[in-house]
Amino acid sequence: MATEVLVPTLGESITEATLGEWLKQPGDPVKLDEPIASLETDKVSVEVPSPVAGVMGQHAVKVGDTVAVGAMIATVDAGGGAPAQAAAPQPAVTQAPAASPAAPAQSAPAATGDSPAALSPSVRRAVLEHGVDPSTVTGTGRDGRITKEDVAAAAQAKPPTPTPTAAPASQAPSTAPTSGGRKEERVKMTRLRQTIAKRLKEAQNTAAMLTTFNDVDMTAVMEARSKYKDLFEKKHGVRLGFMGFFVKAATMALKDIPSVNASIEGDEIVYHDYADISVAVSAPNGLVVPVIRDAQDLSVAGIEKTIGDFGRRAKDGTLKMDEMKGGTFTISNGGVFGSLMSTPIINPPQAAVLGLHRIEERPVVVNGQVVVRPMMYLALSYDHRLIDGREAVTFLVALKNAIEDPTRILIDL
């Protein structure tokens, strides 16, 4: 007996999603609640669990299709291990006509764990860009799935050869065939990427954005981290990073400069007596921005634990919708990717975003002497309709003082 697989409730005000990838192919055995598909919404990827144990039936929609909440996307033939063997030949018969209207790239390879058909669109693109054979990549994602980071790591590790791209090129009939070896590939934007693009453009069109800069000497924080990182990890079970210091320092500065933590609603300014800090976290399909609730009440250890949990679940695709909502201020750390300086775009309806950058040794003057110090540029982009230049600069100076003298964080100064 076949059981229909329906699109689950995706959260408040979200009525549809895009089918990102199939995690199970027709004929595959599935367990109860085992993920069989991944849906992409405006904010995060959601896995669809199997309602019963049995054998994966027919796919009712293709990758890239838009599906509504409650719509049927597939069937699962209920049963144990024995029905799985009996049912295995049947999907092979029914799969052929279903594959004919699909894109050529989906009909060529068999649906194995390392074939392009079993990879997400972003991972398939990374495979093509890096010329990596996915069968040689060890997946670190959920259930051993390959992520973009896995592909990039495999590309760095492999020795250069004259023909590394031959296999991936043959698996992508969608690329334009040309005699000179020049190729193009068209990949539909994910729903998440479309939403990011829309919101960022809306921010530019609505807010009077301006960015102000400062730099900070990281010596004191780096010394504290070096001295206490082992004891910190042993006691709290999480590594001591720099974000804990910056989030805590930001909550203190936001309390002193409340307009940076405010927002505009209509013709009113809404001031918040709490600091819900949005932190940009890298996920397989792009950056996501979960929120640290009431960060002003958390210790540095509590902040690091929360960020570490967000990072793990962003990679696994298990972040929840509610964890993306709200936020009164955003911190984005481009330094982990090597960025020296940037002008980040605010995340509406928030009024400001702090950009962190890479740490590099530079000559600075201290007490009349030129010395070499580990320095970082800070960038605060803000809505000039709400925040004046004086307030923006004062916020950055308060943050700089707290980082350069972490004792201020301990005594709330």
Catalytic position from the list 143, 294, 322, 388: 388
Confidence (pLDDT) at 147: 78
- The Cα 258–Cα 64 span in angstroms is 43
Q: Is residue 197 part of a domain?
A: no
| Contacts made by residues 396-399, CB under 8 angstroms, sequence distance 24+ | 396/212, 396/213, 396/214, 397/214, 398/249, 398/252, 398/253, 398/256, 398/257, 399/214, 399/216, 399/246, 399/249, 399/250, 399/253, 399/354
135 and 10 in a single domain? The answer is: yes
**CATH number of 387's domain:** 3.30.559.10
Confidence (pLDDT) at 165: 45
Distance set, CA 402 to CA 211, 223, 324, 413 (Å): 21, 15, 28, 8
Based on the number of CB atoms within 10 Å of its own CB, is 232 exposed (0-12), middle (13-18) or buried (19 or more)?
buried
Catalytic position from the list 230, 294, 384, 405: 384
Known catalytic membership, residue 357:
no
27 and 157 in a single domain? The answer is: yes
Containing structural domain, residue 66:
2-170
Task: Specify which residues 362 forms β-bridges with.
Answer: 373
**CATH number of 145's domain:** 2.40.50.100
Mean pLDDT for the stretch of residues 105-134: 57
Instruction: Using the 3D structure, point to which of 148, 170, 192 is the last residue of a domain.
Output: 170
Q: Can you tell me whether residue 354 is helix, strand or coil? A: strand
365 and 226 in a single domain? The answer is: yes
Q: Is residue 18 part of a domain?
A: yes
Bond preceding residue 349 cis, omega within 30 of 0: yes
Instruction: Using the 3D structure, point to which of 170, 189, 218 is the last residue of a domain.
Output: 170
In terms of pTM, does the model score above 0.75?
no
255 and 160 in a single domain? The answer is: no
- The one-letter amino acid at 25: Q
Known catalytic membership, residue 384:
yes
- The Cα 261–Cα 327 span in angstroms is 9
Confidence (pLDDT) at 386: 93
Is-contact 346 381, C-beta < 8 A? yes
Total number of domains constituting the chain: 2
Mean pLDDT for the stretch of residues 190-216: 84
Is-contact 105 173, C-beta < 8 A? yes
Q: Band of the pLDDT at 220, cuts 50, 70, 90?
A: very high
Looking at the predicted structure, is the pLDDT value of residue 158 above 80?
Answer: no
- The Cα 13–Cα 124 span in angstroms is 31
Better pLDDT: 319 or 238: 238
Is-contact 227 75, C-beta < 8 A? no
In degrees, rounded to 5, the angle at the alpha carbon of residue 124 between the alpha carbons of residues 120 and 127 is 140
Confidence (pLDDT) at 304: 94
- The Cα 407–Cα 401 span in angstroms is 10
Instruction: Using the 3D structure, point to which of 114, 146, 170 is the last residue of a domain.
Output: 170
24 and 103 in a single domain? The answer is: yes
Confidence (pLDDT) at 211: 95
Each residue's pLDDT tens digit, 126-155: 776 777 777 788 877 766 778 777 777 887
142 and 227 in a single domain? The answer is: no
